[in-house]
Copies of this chain bind each other. A is one copy, B any other.
């Protein structure tokens, strides 16, 4: 699976004033994950030695990119964003 770019499993949870995005990215390190947030889209990209993930995540509402907090543990990325 070296050169294949995979679309990760992503869930988006609407929690009133914020959105929580859960993405499954097994096999990468936190430093390998790149997130670009604009309005209601997250462009997610991660590349490690033998795994590549890419996905454009459409959000149910626009968010403040500066509010982003993210954490990665056991192959799962959690992103929190405040709605605009």
Residues of B within 8 A of A71 (CB): none
Task: Say yes or no: B74 contacts A24, CB within 8 Å.
Answer: no
Determine whether A62 belongs to the interface, using a CB cutoff of 8 Å to chain B. Answer: no
A1-32 residues at the B interface, CB under 8 angstroms:
1, 11, 24-29
Copies in the complex: 2
* Interface flags, A51-81, vs B, CB<8A=1, else 0: 0000000000000000000001011100000
Please report the C-alpha to C-alpha distance between residue A72 and residue B24 in the assembled complex, in whole angstroms. Answer: 15
User: Is the beta-carbon distance between B24 and A75 smaller than 8 angstroms?
Assistant: yes
Pick the residue among B1, B11, B29, B74 that contacts A26 (CB under 8 A).
B74
- Closest-CB distance, A43 to chain B (whole angstroms): 20
Bound-state CA distance A43–B26 (Å) is 20
Between A and B, 20 residue pairs with Cβ closer than 8 Å are: A1-B11, A24-B26, A24-B27, A24-B75, A25-B26, A25-B75, A26-B26, A26-B74, A26-B75, A26-B76, A27-B74, A27-B75, A27-B76, A28-B74, A29-B74, A72-B74, A74-B74, A74-B75, A75-B75, A75-B76
